[in-house]
Amino acid sequence: MKDFKGKHVLITGGASGIGKIMGRLFLEKGAILIIWDINQTNIDKTVKEFSILGEIHGYKVDIADLVQIKSAATVVASTIGTVDVLINNAGIVVGKYFQDHTSTEVIQTMNINANAPMLVTLEFLPAMIKQNSGHVCNIASSAGLISNPRMSVYAASKWAVIGWSDSVRIEMERQKIEVGVTTVTPYYINTGMFDGVRSLIPILKPERVARKIVRAIGKNRIILSMPFSMHFIRFSQGLLPIWLFDWFTGSVLGIYKTMDHFTGRKE
């Protein structure tokens, strides 16, 4: 989908972080922007800030709640129309050893990070299929490719997203449906979500990440990994014995220690 002018673009978690930046970029390309977010204050600020760029609609939606997803989707369909580009961007992280999680944290993380992208897509994909055009972009994580201490539940949720997302992509291709699916697997992004993380590999800049995602959707990219070195994770896992991969990843690159000082975003 090279031309976004007049297209309806819906972004979950669209009132902050890379979701907000992507929204601005789409408005600059002439799209009609729809943002879903759980924070009403951020929604109001974003709508006010971006209204000079084009048409924008903001909805408060808790995507961990199926009732709210269905209700908001119905409103969007009836008042705005078919969503042409859906970006499942919203996510949360709890930086703890697994045994320190509460059951509520586990369920909440899986609901928002893994279940919600599927349930939100289920609301909008049928209309895309009917018009035989559209694009679904799912923001996963490099944590969906590599195990990491203090990220067990987050990693589980992102592994789920990657498997589901690419399966839907193949399903669209096999059915000869012109709906593209892009799966994004970035390293840590400097949005505040991962405050406290220390990494030898440079932490990604939000503006650059957002621009690459928008460009990838326009080019119908299948997988977008950032930085480029993330492409070699699967290859290395298949090539190296596990003990050697763990040693290189943990001791040389220091990835297994990146969450040791995690604090997360301060609300």
Nearest to 258 by CA among 117, 136, 139, 141: 141
CB neighbour list of residue 122: distance below 8 Å, 6 or more residues apart: none
Is the CB of residue 231 less than 8 Å from the CB of residue 225? yes
Backbone angles phi, psi at 2, to 5 degrees: -85, -30
Q: One of 59, 97, 154, 187 is an active-site residue; which one?
A: 154
Residue 202 structure tokens: 């440079």
Active site residue 188: no
220: left (phi over 0), alpha (psi -120 to 50) or beta: left
Residue 128 structure tokens: 């895309």
Catalytic residues: 154
